[in-house]
Each structure stands twice: as C-alpha cells, then as structure tokens.
Structure 1
Amino acid sequence: MAEHVMATVDTPGGDTGSKQLVYRDEALEIERVCIDTIARTVPTPFYCYSSDAIRTAYLTLSAALKPVGASVCFAVKANANLSVLGLLADLGSGMDIVSGGELERALVAGVPGSKIIFSGVGKKRSEIARALEVGIHQINVESEAELDAVIDVAGALGVRAPVALRVNPDVDAGTHAKISTGKKEDKFGIAVQDIPALYTKAFAAPELDPVGLAVHIGSQILDLSPYRAAYSRIADLVRLLRSQGLPIRRLDLGGGIGIRYDHGTSADVGEYAMIVRETVRNLDCELTVEPGRWLVGPAGVLVTEVLYVKKTADRLTVIVDAGMNDLMRPAIYGAVHPVLPLKQDRQGNSHTYQIAGPVCESSDIFGTYRDLPPLRSGDRLAFGCAGAYGASMASTYNGRDLAAEVLVDGDRFRVIRRRQTTEALLALEDETEWQVSSHSPTDLRHAC
C-alpha cells in the first residue's frame, strides 16, 4: 500500500478547488462552513461539496476553451447529484451521459435534450428511443451493431437520429489500465480503418443525420501529450472523410483531464486548449469537450469518523466508519486520497496510520498516512478530492446505508441527498405475488 503525506491544508487539485478548504481557528472549513458543524447535523459518513469550487472550475475551463470555440458537456458519471447537475446547468454546461438513468437526471436538473450527448457502448433500444424523443444533441455510436439499432429505432419513431461515430484512435493515454479507453484492445469505439465505410453507411441511411466524430481516450490524464496524438489522428480522419464527399460538422473531443490527489501540479487547461487549437481548430467543426473529474473532484470531501485505533506490532491502524462502498477508487485502482483532520493539532505531534474501513474485505484500505495528529475514537477526518466517483460509485455492500450528500454555498449548507437507510432499502424487497409460467416443460427447455 502506498504511503501518503497529508496533514496540512495545502490540498491537492490545482486551481480547481483547493482554496475552498481552509483551517480557521484550528477547525477545517469548506468555504465558510465548519465541517464539524455539518457533522453534528448529518451523521458520518457523508459527502460534502463546495459550490464555489465547482463554479470556479467550470468558469476557468470555459475561459480557457473560449478562444478555440469549444463548449463543455459535464460527464455525469463523475457526480450525478441533481443539485450538482443543476449548478453546472445554470452556468451553461451541457451534459455527457452514458445511460438512460443519467439522461433522466440531466432532464430533471433542467438541461434540455439539445445540450445532451449520449455516449457509452451498451445503449438499450429503449434508451435510444427516449433520447430521440427528447431531442438529444447527438448519439455517439460505438459499433456497427449499435448503428443498426439506431437506424431501427429512428425508423420506428419517424425521426432522423443525429449520430457521431466514436473513433478508437489506438492511443495510450498513459493512465491506469482500468480507465484507459483509447487503445485498440479497449472495448470502446470503432477502429480508425473501419470509420470510412461505416460513416458512408450512416450517410446513406435516411433515418440518420451523421454529424461527425467523437473520441475519448481515458480518464485521469495528467500528461497531455496523448491528446495531441489522438486529436491529430482525428484531424487526419476528418480530412480523409471530407475528401470522399462525407460532411463532418462536429467533433466531440471527450474528457479525461486529470487532477492531482497529492501536492503535485494538475493538468494545465491552458496547455490543453492550445493542443485543441493546434490540432483541430482549423477544421471548422463545432467542438465539444466532456470533463467530469476536473470540474467536481477537488470540490468534494468524504467526511468520516474514527471508530477505533488498532495497535499491532508493526503499525497503527485507524478504523473509520467510511468504507470501500463509499469510496471505491482505493480498492479498484489503488488510488490514495488525501486526508485532513477536521481539527488541527498545534502541539506538533504526528503519527503514521494505516486508515481502513469497516467493510469485510482486505481491500477496504484507504492508505498509509504520515504526519497526522494523534487520533482517537470520535475524531473526524475528511478524504479530499472525493467530489468525483465517490457517491456516484457507492454501493450498499455489507448492508451499509448509502451516505448522504451535502452542498455548501458560502456560509450555508443543505443536504442534497438524504441517507438511503436500511429500512428504505428493505422496502424494495417486500414480498410480491408469485407468477406462474405459461410455458409447458417442453417450451421452457427451448426458451432457456
């Protein structure tokens, strides 16, 4: 397990949220709200987000991209809370979705279908139909089989479906293997060499409006050079298709801009904008980018309480009430989130602790942290950079409640998702009536 240092307020995330988390009078505040005050009202664990950090990140990215004419669609999978989506929608953001459920969330948050892009490799026909019914901006198609499904659904509805073909450029984003999406062995996208024939097919289908191409090479990208490689290949492909008389009006450049979970430097969005300008700006296409983590990751913390301090021969292990079901990234990717105590220790004492959750899995370990103050039962900690892929990936494993979400705005806060209790979850499993199959034993064997 990696060892991590985090005992100061110099929080990670670059310019995307660190200034909203500060110590005042030895107490950790998010914006102008003491997190301990929230914890006296909202039981731990809970997620807490800074409105100002999200606004600042969105406006910073939008300003960087304005000279190249690129619009922003937030990747809903990073944080699908309605209040977060509404905040971004009010700023003018569109949405990038990967499921029918995310589509409905975006619509309820006030985002019109015309500002929503539907990505993802496994869209159901019912989801495609719903997207077309609400006037989706475009559907990013990832295979010929999916293209055929869109043709069928659009034909049945009597509409033309706006589609972009997602290209797999075979570019290694240099990120974790489990969040890489642009190499040829990944499940995403269509091989470059297969695009011309499939785009020709789309252009010939009266049920389709082929609008352009899409690409997304991965997530948590800190070295931006893979973007240059991918976008250059897309630019070459645009020129090839146009030489064959096929129009390309839009380019969806995907997301994946990374943040730092330590004290390093985050990805420079100014450099990213320069790469966009130098590779695809002169193609005269409508450009869209789809960041998720960069906009909301540093804006959030996961607040937890120390249950026990366990002493063994070689270490001190702090058991907290947040588990891998609340923050999956350490267990899945070996990621280490920063940790801040809610109260500073002015005496200068420090210890090294392994921090672990209560889930019955050996992988329920958040990391080993140096330079933390002495901890005891009842103390509270905040895991930083938890605004992305925290609540959105959470589960009820081990019969644990889904934690509440809280939004801070200046000197006020409110619960934006109530805790989903065991009682509420049990209600979903109330007994229903048995249904008798109408198949004969012979029919049933054939059906299976």
Structure 2
Amino acid sequence: MRFEELPTPCYVVDEGLLEKNLKILNGVMERTGCKIVLAQKAFSMYSLYPLIGEYLSGTTASGLFEARLGYEEMGKENHVFSPAYREDEIDEIIEICDHIIFNSFSQIEKFKDKALKAGRSIGLRINPECSTQIGHDIYNPCAPGSRFGVTLKNFRPDLLEGIEGLHFHTLCQQNSDDLETTLNAVEEKFGPYLRKMKWINFGGGHHITREDYDIPRLEACIKRMQDEYGLEVYLEPGEAVALNAGYLVTTVLDTLENSMNIAILDTSASCHMPDVLEMPYRPPLLGSGEVGEKPHTYRLGGQTCLAGDVIGDYSFDQPLKSGDRLVFGDMAIYTMVKNTTFNGMALPAIAVQDKDGECKVVRQFSYQDFKMRL
C-alpha cells in the first residue's frame, strides 16, 4: 500500500526515520558503555519492538501493563517505576521486572524483601529539587509539592541496605546542559550515597536525537558518573526514540468561515493529538506555513463538541477543500499512548512505512473498540 492509499485518520511510523534515531542512541551506548532503555509511556508501538531491541537495552514501564508489554514483546532488560505499587500487582511486577524503582522508603520497607528474594535489583527515586524548566510545572517533577522522589530532607541512610541504584527524572524535552545542572545538584545532595550504589538512572526527557542536542556533553556526564563513582549508567528516553519519526494523516471533511477560514478534519486534537492542547504544542504540517505566510490561512479543528478542539492556524498555497489530505509530522510520540474515543471518535489506524515507501496497516479500530471501553 502506498502512503496516499492509507485510510484516515492514520498514524504512520517511518521505519527508516525510527532506525536513524536508534542508531544515534546506540552510538551513545557504544561510546560510553551506558545502557539506554525505551520509556514506553511515550511510544508503545510493540510491532516495532524487535527493531528497537536490536539497538537498545530494553524497556522501562510506569506500571504493570507497560511492564508486561515490554516483557512479552521485547524480552530484554525490563525496568519499572511507579509512585506507588498495588499489593495485588506487585508479585507479577517482581516476576517480570529486572529493576524495580521505588518512590519512597515506606514502599521499600513494604516490598523490599519480596523483590530481593526474587533476585531483583532495587532502586530509589530521588528528588534533587533542581528545576530546569520555567512555566511548565505540569511537566516539572521537581516543582514544590511534587509527588516524585525522596528529597534530601526525607532521605533515610539507615534504610539503604539492599538498594543498588538511585534514579532521578527531572527533564522534559531538554538538552544536556540541563542534565549537567541536575547532575551537579544530585552530587551536591546525594553524592555520599552514590558510592554505595551499583547504578544510577538519569531518567528521561533527554532530546538526544534532536538536531541541536549536545551529545558530547551528555557523554561527559555519563563518564563522570562512571569514573567518579564506578556506577553503571542508565538512560530511559521516550520521545528521543521516535522523535520526528511518525505522521498523522487526515482528511478535510468541510470548510467554513467565521471571522476566518476554518477546516474540519477527520482527526481531533483532543482525541488523537492531546499534547497539542496539553503542552500546548503546534505540530508541523507538511506543505503549510505560519499564519499569513502563504495566501490562504485556515484554523484546523476536529469533529468533537469541545470548542477548543483546535489543532492550530496554518497557511496554504491553495484553498483547502473537502477530500484534501493533510499530513502532520512528529506524531509518533505521546499520540497512540494517550488517544481517546471522546465523543465516540474512532481511533486512528496504525501503520508502518518501510524503507521502500511501502505502507502496512498493522491495526484498525472499530465501533467495538469504543463500546468495550465503556
């Protein structure tokens, strides 16, 4: 199937672009000896896990279901972190996860013995109270009142027995200068305890595959932990794995005018591209321009009843008409994993484009997928 023959709406992941990212990440691993695992919370398209597994060390999960997915579909190192684990799930988590990272000493006291008896490596998430983001507290794990990680004030050195690693995750779509700043804070507050550990996990949020990312600085940070403390270093990026490797193909259903030109699409910001509203974020649209850059500017919106279901304002060389197909870029990450059927919107199909340009639909959804969620 060719790209133009795909049903819409449809997420399409370009295998060649994904592999390009994976080679960059694998290069960091080869040069430094660190391990990089896929954060499934950003990208969980498991039909591509065999390819990802050729380059990365495994997966990391935010709970039982993601942990099962990584265990079943990639079968390499399997890490998990949760703010708190359920008693009715912890046994299965211990059974399938190699590294289990706890968010508090009370959780460690509750579940440590079980995990150690099973031969698992236990980690503790720390909060270095170092915010490198401004104005985005929804994405800031170090914001005041954060529920993530143990602060120095609440740290319990007397309960470190059996703990093999420390984990921090403070970044979101950031460069390695912010990692370096965070690492300084980690050393300042938790340095004495690093020497008691076997590994350290830098968490996610590293935009390693972005063009302007400073990879040498990242590698210097990794080597610093290895050389100074003898630690094995883990990173768990999500976005960097599939950054700019996917598309969302959609069709114009209608156009209208209300103070400006408006186009209604068969996709939805609210349902299919939630970061557009949550970040907020303006996704790239192939062949379009900024407002007023090209002769015809349109506000693009979805079919739902939400007044704010608007993707953004874009300009085009020609007027849009019913039946036109539009292609949004960077639509692999935080899309499939966060989409909804609000208003009964159908979920987009999921497809892979191979290196020859051929597309294969790996999943299509129906009314039953909507109904059975309810």
TM-score (norm 1): 0.76
What SS is found at the alignment partner of 2:243?
helix
The 1:180–1:239 alpha-carbon spacing in structure 2 relative to 1, beyond 3 Å, is closer
Give the aligned length.
368
The Cα of 1:154 is off from its aligned counterpart by 3.9
Which digits, 9 at most, give the CA deviation of each residue in 1:402-425, with x for residues without a partner?
221111111232222x22211344
The Cα of 1:331 is off from its aligned counterpart by 1.4
1:110 and 2:74 aligned: yes
- Runs of 5+ in structure 2 lacking a partner? none
Find the aligned partners of 2:250 and 2:227 in 1 and give their Cα distance: 46
Find the aligned partners of 1:350 and 1:231 in 2 and give their Cα distance: 48
**1:151 alignment counterpart:** 112
Return 323-332 or 173-182, whichever deviates more.
Answer: 173-182
Find the aligned partners of 1:90 and 1:63 in 2 and give their Cα distance: 13
Find the aligned partners of 1:372 and 1:267 in 2 and give their Cα distance: 33
Checking the alignment, whether the CA contact within 8 Å between 1:309 and 1:377 is kept in structure 2 is yes
Find the aligned partners of 2:123 and 2:373 in 1 and give their Cα distance: 39
Report 1:32-47 matches (<5 A).
Answer: 34-37=2-5, 39=6, 43-47=7-11
Letter in 2 for 1:272: L
What SS is found at the alignment partner of 2:234?
strand
The 1:141–1:428 alpha-carbon spacing in structure 2 relative to 1, beyond 3 Å, is closer
Aligned match of 1:225 in 158, 177, 180? 177
What SS is found at the alignment partner of 2:89?
helix
**1:87 alignment counterpart:** 51
Which digits, 9 at most, give the CA deviation of each residue in 1:191-240, with x for residues without a partner?
02333x1x43140xxxxx31110010032124x33211211232345541
The Cα of 1:361 is off from its aligned counterpart by 0.8
The 1:283–1:428 alpha-carbon spacing in structure 2 relative to 1, beyond 3 Å, is closer
What SS is found at the alignment partner of 1:359?
coil
**1:182 alignment counterpart:** 142
Which digits, 9 at most, give the CA deviation of each residue in 1:269-296, with x for residues without a partner?
3332233334664321000001110110
Checking the alignment, whether the CA contact within 8 Å between 1:171 and 1:226 is kept in structure 2 is no
**1:127 alignment counterpart:** 89
Letter in 1 for 2:323: G
The Cα of 1:373 is off from its aligned counterpart by 3.6
Report 1:322-333 matches (<5 A).
Answer: 322-323=267-268, 324-333=270-279
TM-score (norm 2): 0.90
**2:296 alignment counterpart:** 351
| Identity value in percent | 21
Letter in 1 for 2:64: G
The Cα of 1:254 is off from its aligned counterpart by 0.8
Aligned match of 1:366 in 284, 292, 311? 311
User: Rg bigger for which structure?
Assistant: 1
What SS is found at the alignment partner of 1:234?
helix
Which digits, 9 at most, give the CA deviation of each residue in 1:122-162, with x for residues without a partner?
3223332112112x22111111232133236448xx43542
What SS is found at the alignment partner of 1:235?
helix
Return 125-134 or 115-124, whichever deviates more.
Answer: 125-134
Aligned match of 1:211 in 164, 182, 188? 164
Find the aligned partners of 2:69 and 2:345 in 1 and give their Cα distance: 24
Report 1:25-104 matches (<5 A).
Answer: 34-37=2-5, 39=6, 43-104=7-68
- RMSD of Structure 2 on Structure 1 (CA): 2.6
What SS is found at the alignment partner of 1:367?
strand
**1:201 alignment counterpart:** 159
Find the aligned partners of 1:99 and 1:159 in 2 and give their Cα distance: 18
